[in-house]
Amino acid sequence: MKYALFAICLRLVQACNNCGQGADGNPHHWDRQRRCDHTDYHPKCQVCEGVGGIPTGDENDEITLTSCTPVANASQIDPASLIKPVWASEWTVLNYHEVLIGKKNDPFCFQTFPGNDSAGKLCYRYEYGVQTYDFRHARALREDLVVPTVLGTLQTELLHHGQYMWVVNHFPWYELGIHQCICVQVSGGSYGHQNTSKKAIYPVQKNWTDQMFYIGREKLGVEYIDKVELLDHWAFGPHHVWSRPANGTIVRMWQPFNGLQVFVEPSGTNPGTVDPQKFADIPPSYCKKGGSPFRINCNDTGYYVAPKKDVSSTCSKDANCEATPADFKRARTRKPRDEYRASSFVNMSMTLNKWLTSGSAPVKECSEFDFEELHGLEAALYLLRDSQLDEVYQKVTDNRRAFNSTLADFQKTWTELQALTVGHKNQTQLVGVIRDSLCHEVVMWYVHHLAEDAKQLLGQSGVQIPLLPYQSHREGTGTCKGPVGSKTHEQICQKHEETVTCMSCHSDVYR
């Protein structure tokens, strides 16, 4: 009998590997500090559990958990003395920080929105700024955020009204200062590429915190204000809210797969005022026809329209920068056609430059560019590239394959090389070699990794593309001539060799 019971217990334990771990079974196996939902969790969530912190990745230890000291559990506090967290119908929080967590749809996490479960790869995006909520008139929520990314600092406006959401990204100058609008229909499940027949999700209702359950009182470390505060811990499903016992002011919120939010403003989400201008432009003009040149999944009047195909690159809906059959044909052609080939370096640069000059973008001699400009241009091209073309190159391990590294890797390589030249007796010459190498790389990306439509877009924006340099540093005439001697020379010249490999395909000589 004893043994039989034991066997049943064992079976229960085995069958229950993932039950009591939230509605999605907690696929990343986060511990009870990182995740402890109020429902579907066993054992039940206690004081100082599910507190979260600043997450950086999906692994359980990829998070800096906040500090928490239990003060009292729910049964030790008189319920009549409790004030529920206040989520008023109108307020503006001028100082707001968050780590947004959402499904990963693109390598930069530009198009990331919180989902209804934690499955799959997630993005963790830190941002800060202003949050405005108006449930009385506009019935909308708006965030004006600053987002530090690998491509530099991005300004983002996020607007949620009805079942629609608009994300307007403003890229920094070296991303051409372009605006991009992403139109989203928020529906049950992931907010990413959704199935429109799913139930729509509207901006959070005022007083939504009325439904929260009390967990207990804690001394909790609050990120971004770097203070330990005595707070009441409330939960609803996977959502946790911490508010001040005296007046219910919300200080911090955590949802293990939606994000961390800290309201630095002393008034939190208490009743406040709203600037009506914030909601005067719905849908945002950037999302309508004639607005931003990069509109993703938006129709002419600025509403979400389902994408025909999943394109992960940041291309505009209008321009539909997907590679065309002609682009693919070019990608699969391993040897350049005769008119693109030539017999010497100078001759070859001139031949290829002839084609560049007759293309859709304005051009400028490589020698007229400086390092910063080329660096920025490279980032812009990375953003505009068509990843499907790279897949073709990767498959045949073609010299044109380029994007196995992140943009940060590319930029680090160049920045480090440039740093080597500082104070070097041949600084001017070496900087010239680096500039020429960058021109080669940028031209190769431009020619072989952008679909024709993206090239035209770039052309319209007035961005200049460098021409190929005429001086060969590999032929023994330039700075890389003969036994060059210094380590710095060698590193820079070796990188140069890598970037001019295109010449070995476009040349009649180096084969």
Ligand X SMILES: *[C@@H]1O[C@H](CO)[C@@H](O)[C@H](O)[C@H]1NC(C)=O
* Cα–Cα distances in angstroms (integers) from residue 355 to residues 132, 333, 479, 508, in the given order: 51, 17, 28, 17
The span of 257-265, 293-301, 415-423, 459-467 binding ligand X (CB under 6 A) equals 293-301
Pick one of 350, 356, 420, 505: the residue that binds ligand X (CB under 6 A).
Answer: 350
Phi, psi for residue 157 in degrees, rounded to 5: -115, 125
Q: Which is nearer to ligand X, 120 or 177 (CB)?
A: 120
Q: Which two tokens stand for residue 149?
A: 């990314």
Whether 409 contacts 379, CB under 8 Å? no
| 65 CB burial (10 A radius; 0-12, 13-18, 19+) | middle
Phi, psi for residue 279 in degrees, rounded to 5: -115, 20
Q: Which is nearer to ligand X, 20 or 189 (CB)?
A: 189
Under the binding rule (CB under 6 A), the answer on residue 246 touching ligand X is yes
The span of 91-99, 245-253, 313-321, 440-448 binding ligand X (CB under 6 A) equals 245-253
Give every CB contact of residue 329 below 8 A, 6+ residues apart in sequence.
none
Under the binding rule (CB under 6 A), the answer on residue 189 touching ligand X is yes
Under the binding rule (CB under 6 A), the answer on residue 195 touching ligand X is yes
Under the binding rule (CB under 6 A), the answer on residue 84 touching ligand X is yes
Under the binding rule (CB under 6 A), the answer on residue 193 touching ligand X is no
Q: Which is nearer to ligand X, 347 or 501 (CB)?
A: 347
CB atoms within 10 A of CB 88: 17
CA-CA distance, 203 to 58, in Å (whole number)? 27
CB atoms within 10 A of CB 86: 21
Under the binding rule (CB under 6 A), the answer on residue 357 touching ligand X is no
CA-CA distance, 90 to 88, in Å (whole number)? 6
Pick one of 95, 299, 320, 471: the residue that binds ligand X (CB under 6 A).
Answer: 299
CA-wise closest residue to 364 among 511, 466, 287: 466
**Amino acid present at 64:** T
Under the binding rule (CB under 6 A), the answer on residue 75 touching ligand X is yes
Under the binding rule (CB under 6 A), the answer on residue 285 touching ligand X is no
Under the binding rule (CB under 6 A), the answer on residue 424 touching ligand X is no
Query: Which residues inside 198-237 make contact with ligand X, applying CB under 6 A?
Result: 198, 207
CA-wise closest residue to 351 among 364, 336, 362, 361: 336
Q: Which is nearer to ligand X, 155 or 267 (CB)?
A: 267
Query: Which residues inside 100-139 make contact with ligand X, applying CB under 6 A?
Result: 116-117
**Residue with tokens 């946790």, as numbered in its chain:** 240
Q: Which is nearer to ligand X, 155 or 347 (CB)?
A: 347
Pick one of 20, 24, 128, 236: the residue that binds ligand X (CB under 6 A).
Answer: 24
Secondary structure (DSSP) of 81-100: G--PPP--SEEEEEEEEEEE
Q: How far is the CB of 73 from ligand X (least distance, A)?
A: 4
Q: Which is nearer to ligand X, 352 or 458 (CB)?
A: 352
CA-wise closest residue to 400 among 511, 488, 287, 506: 506
CA-CA distance, 90 to 442, in Å (whole number)? 49
Under the binding rule (CB under 6 A), the answer on residue 429 touching ligand X is yes
Secondary structure (DSSP) of 358-373: TSSS-EE-GGG--HHH
CA-wise closest residue to 88 among 208, 202, 244, 6: 208
Q: Which two tokens stand for residue 487?
A: 């380590």
Mask for 323-342, x = binds ligand X (CB under 6 A)? -------------------x
Q: Find the DSSP H helices in 422-476.
A: 427-449, 452-460
Pick one of 54, 65, 77, 88: the residue that binds ligand X (CB under 6 A).
Answer: 88
- Nearest residue to ligand X, using CB? 189
Q: Which is nearer to ligand X, 161 or 373 (CB)?
A: 161
Q: How far is the CB of 443 from ligand X (least distance, A)?
A: 16
The span of 12-20, 147-155, 191-199, 467-475 binding ligand X (CB under 6 A) equals 191-199
Under the binding rule (CB under 6 A), the answer on residue 425 touching ligand X is yes
Under the binding rule (CB under 6 A), the answer on residue 73 touching ligand X is yes
Q: How far is the CB of 197 from ligand X (least distance, A)?
A: 4
Q: Point out which residues bind ligand X (CB under 6 A).
A: 23-24, 73, 75-76, 84, 86, 88, 116-117, 188-189, 195, 197-198, 207, 244, 246-247, 249, 266-267, 270, 299-301, 303, 342-343, 347, 350-351, 394, 397, 401, 404, 425-426, 429, 479
